[in-house]
Structure 1
Amino acid sequence: MFDSAPLHDVGALQQSEAFERALISLGTPAHRLADGTLALQRQLGPLPVHMITRAAPQSPQELIETAKSLQAKGPVILAPDTPMPLHKYGAVPLVSPSGIAQIDLNPDIDTLHKGLHQKWRNRLKHARRQSLRLTRQNMPDDPDHWLLQADALQQTRRRYRSWPIDLTLAYGRENRGQSKLFTAFWGREPVAAILILRHGTSATYHIGHARASGRIASAHTLLLWSAITWCKAKGVERLELGVVDTEEGQGLARFKLGTGAQVRPLGGTWIYWPPFSQLLRPVAHLDRRLMGSI
């Protein structure tokens, strides 16, 4: 197994140098602005659309100034890392904020274990009694890997979209040792797996899947604890477990929060483009309460 030294950038995966390298390798337009923010570009008909997702903490004024440097070319989509009142600066809300679960890995491993919820610890004990065999390796550069295919099928069934398989594989190719696959085997059968992406002193739970036998054996719990201990040993300070949806994904939310993770609100999604903003300004106030920016 190959574990390279960590990268130096810190913060959200979507702003990391590791993510930038993966995008560029696929020919996706992405560039660093003068303030260090990573901006992506998409084409919407004749209009170029720039997207800034989870930029490093900054003031609303600074984020809007960044958007102004791009808006002459077309609309700018902003998804701040924290809630902020962007409507005061001409942005229009599109999607209300969500919350993400994050584990602070700075405490020692015993403290992290004590922070597990009792039911989560019970499932961990159960998994340890199942004679599961765990492996850790760099994510194979294989689009037909069973985890990637299972995740793609799940996205179709549940009607959501995540990264395309090509981008997930590119991340591993361009960031050697930073895309880690943890797999649980029952005999020779892989029954569960999770993929963790490292980026600087942070890491992100990217995808995971448990087959029926894996769910019976609580394999996912054992895998995530294995990933937590590995990240801790590698100097990772923060492990992000993704969005917490307490309405439509209560079971998954409980699983994430059972690790002792804390929920932190993001800033929602906004559009900044003066022609569009002026058109929708009369009704924009209706959505402001959803953005946490009153």
Structure 2
Amino acid sequence: MATGSTTSAVREAGSEEIVDSVARVLNAAGIPCVLWGHFLWATHGVPTYIPLDLVIPDASLAAASEAMTAARFSPPLVACLDPTTCIDGSSPDRQHPHPAFHMHIEDTTPGLTVSSVCLHLQSETLWFLPPLRASLASPRTCRLPRYLALACDRTALPPDELGMGRGVFHSDQTVVVVPKAHILTEALMRIMARDRYERVGMWAVQHFLYIALYVEERGILDLRLLPEPLGKLYKELTGRGHGNAMVKLMRTLGVPVLERLYR
């Protein structure tokens, strides 16, 4: 048991250091970023992992790509040789949202839970939030919006528990910023409506259901913070309401509905 615990601790510490180092490189270039994807889900307590995803402002993509390519990371990050066919890039077989840029982690540490670093545009992920402002590139000194938190914030994130996701970061000095649970939930609801007929939509549905199972059940999600009628629709989508909740969600968000599929 002790050996397994030690291995897990090393693995989690290594993953945490990687995401923190990437965030620091982006911040040093004046680029704000927030955690996204599976690593974000895990930080909120969902038992999942890989890859490491970050959201950046759309206008910062070129600068972010340049900063990451020029930086010396440990373990090293290497450019993808064929992003169009890579499963971590734009491969048509990819189930997750496609990143705008990604690099691979060149490391052989046993059990390391991160294999690549992916950058996503805010317009594709958190478009309903105000634009990520430049001051967020100094997350430890600026005043964070109420819907964001540092990844070490124990009032916003769960502890690391057996059988659950990694939870709050161990280091109190991290610069990694995370959307709070209600923002993560709203993002998934909007994506599963927007991409209802695509693979990404099914991915969003799956992870939305994880929210109810692993996040809400532990008291981390405050449903009162979801804007209505999304709060009510959340309950219907998780089986506590009536009617065709997905159709209601799509219509609420102005997404066209293929009526023939719901007759």
TM-score of the aligned structures, taking structure 2 as reference length: 0.28
* Structure whose CA Rg is larger: 1
Question: Normalising by the residue count of structure 1, what TM-score does the alignment of the two structures yield?
Answer: 0.26
Q: Which has the higher contact order (CA 8 A, sep 6+)?
A: 1
